[in-house]
Amino acid sequence: MAAWIIAGLLSTASAQELHTGIPVRGVEGLGEPDFLTPELGWSAPIEGGFVKVFVGTSAEQASDWVKQAQMSITVVLPLIDVLGDEAWGDASGLLIVRSGNIALQVRAQGNAGEIAQAMLDAIPAGSQPWPSPPVLLEVGEGQWRVEAPGAAAVRFTGGGQASPGADLTFSERPDAVVAWDEWGRPSVWSQ
């Protein structure tokens, strides 16, 4: 039996707890993350494929994400009992896995199970509080600035960006701002 299968079976006992997340950077084999929406999560390229990761505030949210991911696949995926709380796929080219409040999809060429296990192994022990939402400050007449200390990425809708670069100063108030932390957890400010 492959080592990742044994490790997956052993990790199932603690899989129902709420996890902090999976690091968006630093997991071996993952490329630069692409932050999607709070409902979709984030993704990253891997050699021969990609991973998608969702971190919810509850196991129910992650389970809903798994159902949506399954519906987006054109074939029926078999339930397999090797990883986390539930896993669907073939452990070779495609896996959809949920462990507590974290769900992930791995598309790979022959090693989806190993990649999924590496992702689950990157989950830190214990949990940390969910990050605070970003703050939008009016810094002058018709000028707004986003503050999101420690954010791994900030995305926004609306708002005419007045200054290029990382300071996120706008000439029009944005409609919504999402700050992603280092564990792939989104926090949202909206009007």
pTM value is 0.86
Q: Does the structure show a pLDDT above 50 at 3?
A: no
Domains and CATH numbers, the chain: 3-121 (3.40.1000), 135-190 (no CATH)
The 10s digit of each residue's pLDDT in 149-190 is 989 999 988 877 656 555 788 888 899 999 999 999 999 998
CA distance 45 to 191: 33
Residue 129: Cβ-neighbour burial (10 angstroms; 0-12, 13-18, 19+): exposed
Nearest residue to 120 via CA among 12, 37, 42, 31: 12
The 10s digit of each residue's pLDDT in 24-45 is 999 999 999 999 999 999 999 9
pLDDT, position 163: 62
State the DSSP string of 120-183. HHTSPSS--PPPPPPEEEEEETTEEEEE-TT-SEEEEEE--B-S-STT-EESS-EEEEEEE-TT
